């Protein structure tokens, strides 16, 4: 019987190289190269993204400290995209503030569901404190002064609108207690102003808890309203 003969070494090397090349080619076909592709936003999605970025920057740095360049950089777009949507920094700021004004007013209006004035006072105080707690960027935007907006677009204007709502409630309460309803506007401004200023203080202090803050505000306001004099006078100066 003839023993099988070994193939020449040159042939064995050629087949080995061919096998390795085929395996490498198969691996390249089976595993296509990975590429990173950015998902293209719709115009509406891009607008919302820019508003969210602008809201955060205006809250952190104010109007003067924010630039279109930084808004565009954070959104990973070019500056013309920001101009296309808003016309410039002023337009973006106006949209951000308008949204916050409406959001706060809607929140307070939705909270005023009770029938008793004391409960309404509680609900208004808690609604404002909830907004400060849950929307710190939005509140910061509202309380910052802006050189480009009229007084109708800031925190004071929001509180003035709330005071007008409270005024109608107080006027009805005053009539039921034989108090002069013409002073309801004055008292509504005083009550809402008290809550607003305490809210701004609490934003930084963060204690006591907001429920306790609301309870203390209502305690002062309601007990003061409960003992109103029909014809108040001054002790230190005569009324003219």
- Would you say residue 112 lies in a domain? yes
**Residue-wise pLDDT tens digits, 135-173:** 999 999 988 876 665 555 678 888 888 888 888 888 988
CA geometry: angle at 57 spanning 51 and 61, to 5°?
A: 145
The token duo for 128 is 């404002």
CA 152 – CA 240 distance, rounded (Å): 34
- Would you say residue 141 lies in a domain? yes
- DSSP characters for 88-105? SHHHHHHHHHHHHHHHHH
- Would you say residue 69 lies in a domain? yes
CA 169 – CA 177 distance, rounded (Å): 13
The parent domain of residue 185 ranges over: 43-226
Percent of the chain whose pLDDT exceeds 90? 51
**Residue-wise pLDDT tens digits, 207-231:** 999 999 999 999 999 998 888 888 8
Contact 70, 92 (CB under 8 A): no
- Would you say residue 193 lies in a domain? yes
Helix (H, G, I), strand (E, B) or coil at 142: helix
- Would you say residue 10 lies in a domain? no
**pLDDT confidence band for 30 (50 / 70 / 90):** very low
- pLDDT for residue 17 is more than 80: no
- Would you say residue 35 lies in a domain? no
Burial of 222: CB neighbours in 10 Å, binned 0-12, 13-18, 19+? middle
- Give the residue with greater pLDDT, 46 vs 17: 46
pTM of the predicted model over 0.95: no
- Would you say residue 9 lies in a domain? no
- Would you say residue 7 lies in a domain? no
Domain count, the chain: 1
Going by C-alpha positions, the residue among 88, 115, 105, 113 that lies closest to residue 192 is 105
pLDDT value for 201 = 94
CATH at residue 78: 1.10.357.10
């Amino acid at each position: 019987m003839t023993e099988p003969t070994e193939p020449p070494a040159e042939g064995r090397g050629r087949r080995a190289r061919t096998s390795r090349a085929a395996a490498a080619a198969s691996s390249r076909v089976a595993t296509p190269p990975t590429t990173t592709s950015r998902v293209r936003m719709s115009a509406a999605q891009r607008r919302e993204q820019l508003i969210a970025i602008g809201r955060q920057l205006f809250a952190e740095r104010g109007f003067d400290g924010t630039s279109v360049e930084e808004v565009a950089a954070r959104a990973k777009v070019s500056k013309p995209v920001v101009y296309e949507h808003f016309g410039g920094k002023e337009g973006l700021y106006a949209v951000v503030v308008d949204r916050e004004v409406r959001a706060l007013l809607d929140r307070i209006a939705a909270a005023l569901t009770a029938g008793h004035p004391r409960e309404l006072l509680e609900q208004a105080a808690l609604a404002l404190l909830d907004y400060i707690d849950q929307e710190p960027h939005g509140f910061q935007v509202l309380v910052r002064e802006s050189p480009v907006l009229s007084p109708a677009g800031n925190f004071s204007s929001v509180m003035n609108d709330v005071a007008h709502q409270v005024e109608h409630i107080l006027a009805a309460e005053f009539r039921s207690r034989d108090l002069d309803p013409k002073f309801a506007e004055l008292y509504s401004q005083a009550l809402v102003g008290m809550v607003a200023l305490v809210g701004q203080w609490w934003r930084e202090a963060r204690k006591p808890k907001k429920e306790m803050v609301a309870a203390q505000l209502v305690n002062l306001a309601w007990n003061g309203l409960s003992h109103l004099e029909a014809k108040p006078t001054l002790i230190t100066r005569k009324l003219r």
